[in-house]
Amino acid sequence: MAQKAPSNRAPAPDPTAEPDLVPGRVTPLAVDTFGGEVEPVDGTDDRTHLAYELRLTNITAANLTVERVRVLDPSRGGRVVDELTGDELASRIPVFGNPPGAPDKRFGPGVAGFVFMDVTYPAGARLPDRLKYRFDVSASTPTGLADSFRAGPTRVAEEDPARIGAPLFGKRWLTGEGCCATVTSHRGAIFPIDGTFHAPERFAIDWVKVGKNGRLYDGPKDELSSHPSLQLPLLRSDDPLGGRRPRGRDARHRARADTRSVSEARAPERSGDGHERSNVARLAPYSAECVEGLFSEVRRYGVL
């Protein structure tokens, strides 16, 4: 998304802005942006989403509870552009060491966790180059530190996003588990790999093909041939194998799964909420047959 050149003129004070707090204070929580900066993403809701995570660490000997998080836009005079409180805030906070979905959101002494952020602007609006925060916390015992403090900044990337071709074709596709405000199984998939946190599924979407009968399968549901999602070519418009085989002359391919090399496959299973979940077969390495020339050229390769 193209950005306008930043103005050197200081933004006018905004009457809705939060009064700034005294800088240089020791705070009970350490706050930093996971991944360093935010990549803007345009959604189908005509909003540009800044979806990212803040990593929180309790440095005190007390139990801390985050009561409120306000997001401030310095480019708009410090205006509050997002605010999280109550159940909405609690739904966005996983505390390390707690089971998934645990209602206890207290950060014990030395304990860390995340808060999942989704700051949105109207599509096409001028985006800030950074965001700041004001946190309000409560403590189980006095800490001698401020219970309201500022944090940040979070940098907002200005590069154009990578543009890729459509991964699917045809009709009757259902989508689910997409970004951004709800912490889905994709959004919440943050894991330490080789000692470093990674969020490979932040913008992942599940696509499921519905058959002509209006169902996810037609025939015995424990057979792969009954599931339309598993019978179609896989489309891709980048080169995830980094030039290793299989490869074409450029980055425009259609990959078709070789069913003889399927290493694991599971048919849809019914979850506790009564909905069916379809699991795509895992393919053995180098089992895709590539056909060139289906998509326009990729403008910039990026990690999606």
Residue 104: what residue type? Answer: D
Do 152 and 177 reside in the same domain of the chain? no
- On whether residue 162 sits in a domain, the answer given is no
Do 34 and 100 reside in the same domain of the chain? yes
Which residue stretches of the chain have pLDDT < 70? Answer: 1-22, 161-166, 231, 233-304
Per-residue pLDDT reduced to its tens digit, 101-154: 888 899 999 999 999 999 999 998 999 999 999 999 999 999 999 999 999 899
Give residue 253's pLDDT: 34
End-to-end Cα separation, the chain, in angstroms: 15
pTM for this model (two decimals): 0.69
Q: Total domain count for the chain?
A: 2
Do 33 and 152 reside in the same domain of the chain? yes
Final residue in a domain of this structure, among 156, 184, 219: 156
Q: Provide the domain limits for residue 247.
A: 173-292
- On whether residue 5 sits in a domain, the answer given is no
Phi, then psi, of 224 in degrees rounded to 5: -60, -30
Give residue 107's pLDDT: 96
- On whether residue 6 sits in a domain, the answer given is no
Do 87 and 151 reside in the same domain of the chain? yes
Final residue in a domain of this structure, among 156, 184, 202: 156
Do 113 and 214 reside in the same domain of the chain? no
* Pairing relationship of beta strands 37-38 and 148-156 according to DSSP bridges: parallel
**128: its two tokens:** 């800030």
Do 108 and 224 reside in the same domain of the chain? no
Residues 283, 263: contact at Cβ < 8 Å? yes
